[in-house]
Chains A and B, each alone.
Chain A
Amino acid sequence: MGQIIANAVILGCTYALMAIGLNMVYGLLKILHVAHAGIYTLGAYVGLLIFRTLTKSLWPGLVCAMVAAGFAGVAIFHILYKPVLRRPRYIALIASAGIFAASQELFRLIAGPYPYAFPAQFVFPAIRTKFFYLTSTQMLILSFTVVSFILLYFLISRTKIGVAWQACMQDMDIAGTSGINVNRVITLNFFLGSALAGAAGILVALYRNSVFPTMGALVSYKAFVVVVLGGLGSMPGAVVAAMLLALVESLLSAAPWFEFPRDALAFLTMTIILLFRPKGLFRR
C-alpha cells in the first residue's frame, strides 16, 4: 500500500510538470496549448540524442532537453499563436492540434516508429523505508519537481519579472500600457513552461526506459484533465489535482475488481466535473 502511494506521488509529479506549463499558457493567453505534448516528446528525444551521441552522462542531456524544449515553445508562440491572438481562441487551438499531429509524425519519420531504450546510469540517492522504496530515478523525479516548483514560486512572487507576469495574468492590455514588455513576459512564460515539459519528457523516458513518437499524447491529455480539475489558470490547484488524479488512478488500477482502462477513466471524470463544476474543483 505504501509503495502504491509512493509510486502515485511520482506519477503525480510528472503530471504536475506537464500541467504547470499548460496552465501558465492558459492563464496568460487563454489558449489550450495542445502542442505541449509535442514539446514533451521533443525533450525526451533531444535528451536521448545527447545521451547516445555526445556523452554517456544524463545531466547534459537533461539540460539540453530543457533548453531545446524551451526554445521550441517560444517558436510555437511566435510563429503560431502571435498572429492569431486577436482572433477567436479556437483558431489558436486548431493550429495547436495541427502542430501536435505534425510533430508526432515528424518524430516517427526521423527516429522511426519503434521505442528506444534509455539506459542512463547516474548517481542519485535512493530511499528505502519499511513502507516503501523509492529508486534513484524516482527520487530524481521527485526532487526535480519539488525544486523547480519552489524556484518557480520564488520567481513569480519575489522577482520583478514575476510581478510583471502576475500583472499580465490579470489584464494584459493594462499591463502593457503600464510599461510592461508583454511580449517578453509571454516569451519567458512559454520558455519556462516548455522547459519543464521537456524535463518531464526526459524524466519519464528515463523512468519507463522508453522513448517513442506517440509518448506525449496520453500524458498531455492527462495534463489537461489535471488542469481542468484544478481550475484553468490556478497553479496550486494544478499540483493538488495532479496528485489526486495519480492517486485515484493508481489505487483503482491496483484494485483487482476494477478493470476499466484508467486512461478513459480520467476523461470520464473530467467530463463529469466539467458538467457540474465548469470552473474546476478548487475554484469558486
Chain B
Amino acid sequence: MLGYILTIANFACIYALAILGLNILTGYAKQVSLGHAAIFALGAYSQALLVTKAGIPFFASLILASLISSIIGMLFGLPSLRVSHDHLVLTTIGLNFIVVAIVEYFDFFGGALGIVGLGTPQIFGHLLATREYLILVVGLLILALIFCWFFSRTWAKLLMEAIGEDELAAAVLGINVARIKLLAFAVSSALTGLAGALWAQYIGSVFPKNFGLELSITMLSMLVFGGMGTIRGALFGALFLYCLPEALRFIQNYRMLLNGVLLAAMVIWQPSGILGKGGLLDWQNIVRKRKAQ
C-alpha cells in the first residue's frame, strides 16, 4: 500500500512539473498548446537515449534532457511567429503525430518497441529507492515552483501576458513579440521536458504509444481546471486531477471522459478555473471582497 501511494505521489508531482511548464506558454502567453505531450515525449526520449546509448550519469542526463527539450521546443514554437492563435493549435496538434511517427519509424529511437532498461537511477553510486526518488522529484518540483514564482515577478511574464492579451498592441508598444514567444516556448519546454525525463527514468522504459494527443488534452484540462495563468492553479489542477481517479477507483474507467467534459465545462462556465484569478476558490479575491463589504 505504501509503495502504491509513493508511486501515485511520484507521478502526480511529475505531472505537476509538466503543467507548470504548460502554464507559462498557455497561461501567461495564451498560446494554447495541444502538443505538450510531444514535448513531454522529447524529454522522456532524450533521457532514455542519454542513459542507455550514451551512458551519461543520471543527474547530468536530467539537465541535458531538459536542455534538449527546451531547444527543440523552441523550434516547435517557430510556427507561432507566423500564424495566429487558432492555426498554432493546429500545428501543435500535428506535433503529437509527427513526434510519435518519427520515434516509431527510426530504429535509433527504438521503433515501436520503444527503449527499455533505463535502470534504477543512482547518484554517486547510491541506488535511489522509490521513496528517495520521490524526495528528489518533490525537491525538483519545489525548485521549479520557486523558479516559476521568480519568473512571474519578471518583466518577461508581463510581456508574455501583454502578447496574450493583444499581440498587435504589444508589438506597437515596442515589444519584441517573436523573442518573447520563443522565450515562452523555451522555458515551457524546459520544465515539461524535465518532467518527461523524470517520468521515463521512473518507469524505466519509453514507448511511442505513451505520448499521444490524449495526454496533451489531459494536460490542458489539468491546467484549465486548476486555473490558467496562476502557479497555484497549475499545481492544484495537476495534483487533483491526477489523484482523483486513483482515490475513487470507480472513476478510473471514465478518466478521459471526465477530463474531456471538465475541460469543456470549465472553460465555458468557470474560465478562470478553481484557483485562478477570480476563480471559485480564489482566496485572495474572497478576502478582498470581504474587506470591501
Contacts and interface: CB of A to CB of B under 8 A. Distances in A.
Interface of A: 30-32, 34, 80, 83-84, 87-91, 93-106, 109, 217, 221, 224-225, 228, 259-261, 263-264, 267-268, 270-271, 274-275, 278
B37 to A, nearest CB: 12
Interface stretch (B190-198, B199-207, B255-263): B255-263
Contact of B79 (A91, A101, A224, A275): A275
Interface in B221-247: 221, 224
Contacts of B217: 97-98, 100-101
Contacts of A32: 86, 89-90
B98 interface: yes
A267 B89 contact: no
Given A83-B268, A264-B101, A264-B102, A98 B86 contact: no
Interface of B: 30, 32, 34, 78-79, 82-87, 89-91, 93-95, 97-98, 100-102, 104-105, 213-214, 217, 220-221, 224, 253-254, 256-257, 259-265, 267-269, 271
A249 to B, nearest CB: 13
A42 to B, nearest CB: 15
Contacts, number: 135
10 contacts: A90-B30, A91-B271, A94-B263, A95-B263, A98-B267, A99-B260, A102-B261, A102-B264, A105-B257, A263-B97
B256 A102 contact: yes
B155 to A, nearest CB: 24
Contact of A263 (B101, B213, B254): B101
A278 B220 contact: no
Given A102-B257, A264-B97, A274-B82, A95 B264 contact: yes
Interface of A is mostly: helix
Contacts of B267: 84, 91, 94-95, 98
Contacts of A221: 93-94, 97
B79 A271 contact: yes
A84 B268 CA distance: 7
Given A89-B86, A101-B217, A275-B82, A260 B32 contact: no
Given A259-B105, A271-B79, A274-B91, A98 B85 contact: no
B260 A105 contact: yes
A80 B264 contact: yes
Contacts of B260: 97-105
Most buried by A among B83, B102, B268, B271: B268
